[in-house]
């Protein structure tokens, strides 16, 4: 990617120096689970033959966690913070233009929270194992920078655009809230809890497509090239439910998918990348 380090976005909230304390485990409400959380819940669900995804709506229990700040580690993350800031600002400036043009809806900025280990969110307690997620209650994206190393080392998706895809995907969930999609899908899940996984897959694939729309904009402005596109596709494939399940258990259970297969995630990211159009991202009409 072509970008110049420098400065931190006004929309970034840095909580990496927070001290220890209690946080809510469970009761996540509107959180769209990240990679780490999805893997964990898949393993628990298969081992105990219980739908642990459904338990995210249970009452929270207090868990104590004490962490220590590491100034040296934070210093090495300075460039990553500037990169996250660049991507966040670019994604949001893109939607400032596209959302009114294509949907006649004004765009308002989301915030991005950087944290280490855990933090509080409007959707309950957030921990690193959950992976990056968007909380519609406070309109914030939550990311522990350690996830980017996990994305590269554990999931085999290196490169800056792979990281940018993750941020653009989470901001895509914010776009869904602004368009009213998030509220409609939550109501649909409440009316038909048995179909919640299928609804979740459509929501996640649409966020992939919205990430692709931003990719289309960066391609037109020569910020990315074909190598970056391949990194984005690799990131989409790396977090497909089928791949994560196979890594975790050696088996694939399509009925338990919450984010979509690797092939579907790549296809919808590519759809947004090729079209640059919100109308092309109607995952609820076709799969």
Tell me, what's the pLDDT at 37? 55
Per-residue pLDDT reduced to its tens digit, 192-219: 888 788 888 899 999 999 999 999 999 9
Tell me, what's the pLDDT at 36? 52
Let me know if residue 287 belongs to a domain.
no
Let me know if residue 4 belongs to a domain.
no
Interacting residues of 177 by C-beta distance below 8 A, sequence separation 6+? 136, 139, 183
Let me know if residue 136 belongs to a domain.
yes
8 Å CB contact between 142 and 113: yes
Which CA distances in Å does 123 have to 10, 47, 119, 133?
22, 27, 11, 10
**Residue 149 corresponds to which tokens in the numbers above?**
């190393």
8 Å CB contact between 94 and 171: no
Bridge partners of residue 25, in order along the sequence: 61
Per-residue pLDDT reduced to its tens digit, 256-282: 667 778 888 989 999 999 999 999 999
**Residue 92 corresponds to which tokens in the numbers above?**
């949001």
Let me know if residue 113 belongs to a domain.
yes
Let me know if residue 74 belongs to a domain.
yes
Range of the domain at 211: 12-281
3-state helix, strand, coil in the chain (%, to 5): 55, 10, 30
Tell me, what's the pLDDT at 287? 57
Is residue 191 packed enough to be buried (19+ CB in 10 Å), middle (13-18) or exposed (0-12)? exposed
How far apart are alpha carbons 85 and 197 in whole angstroms? 32
Tell me, what's the pLDDT at 59? 38
3-class DSSP state of 116: coil
Let me know if residue 110 belongs to a domain.
yes
How far apart are alpha carbons 237 and 247 in whole angstroms? 13
Tell me, what's the pLDDT at 7? 86
Let me know if residue 1 belongs to a domain.
no
Let me know if residue 2 belongs to a domain.
no
Q: How many domains does the chain have?
A: 1
How far apart are alpha carbons 121 and 119 in whole angstroms? 7
Q: Report residues of the chain scoring pLDDT below 50.
A: 19-29, 44, 46-67
Bridge partners of residue 22, in order along the sequence: 64
How far apart are alpha carbons 212 and 195 in whole angstroms? 26
pTM of the predicted structure, to 2 decimals = 0.79
Is residue 206 packed enough to be buried (19+ CB in 10 Å), middle (13-18) or exposed (0-12)? buried
Q: What is the mean pLDDT of the chain?
A: 80
- How many CA atoms lie less than 13 Å away from 255 in the CB half-sphere? 4
């Amino acid at each position: 990617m072509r970008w110049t380090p420098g400065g931190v976005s006004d929309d970034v909230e840095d909580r990496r120096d927070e001290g220890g304390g209690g946080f809510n485990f469970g009761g996540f409400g509107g959180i769209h689970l990240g990679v780490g959380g999805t893997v964990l819940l898949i393993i628990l669900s298969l081992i105990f033959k219980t739908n642990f995804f459904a338990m995210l709506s249970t009452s929270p229990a207090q868990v104590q966690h004490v962490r220590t700040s590491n100034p040296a580690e934070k210093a090495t993350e300075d460039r990553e913070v500037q990169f996250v800031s660049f991507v966040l600002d670019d994604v949001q400036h893109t939607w400032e233009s596209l959302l009114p043009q294509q949907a006649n809806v004004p765009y308002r900025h989301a915030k991005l929270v950087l944290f280490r280990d855990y933090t509080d969110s409007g959707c309950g307690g957030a921990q690193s194992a959950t992976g990056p997620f968007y909380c519609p209650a406070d309109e914030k994206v939550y990311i522990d920078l350690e996830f980017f190393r996990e994305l590269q080392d554990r999931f085999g998706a290196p490169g800056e655009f792979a990281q940018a895809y993750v941020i653009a995907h989470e901001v895509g969930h914010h776009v869904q809230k602004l368009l009213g999609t998030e509220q409609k899908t939550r109501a649909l899940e409440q009316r038909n809890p048995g179909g919640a996984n299928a609804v979740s897959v459509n929501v996640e694939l649409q966020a992939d497509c919205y990430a692709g729309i931003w990719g289309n904009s960066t391609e037109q402005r020569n910020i990315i090239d074909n190598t970056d596109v391949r990194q984005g596709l690799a990131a989409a494939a790396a977090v497909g439910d089928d791949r994560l399940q196979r890594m975790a258990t050696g088996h694939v259970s399509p009925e338990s998918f919450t984010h979509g297969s690797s092939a579907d995630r790549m296809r919808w990211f590519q759809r947004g990348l090729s079209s640059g159009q919100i109308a092309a991202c109607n995952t609820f009409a076709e799969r």
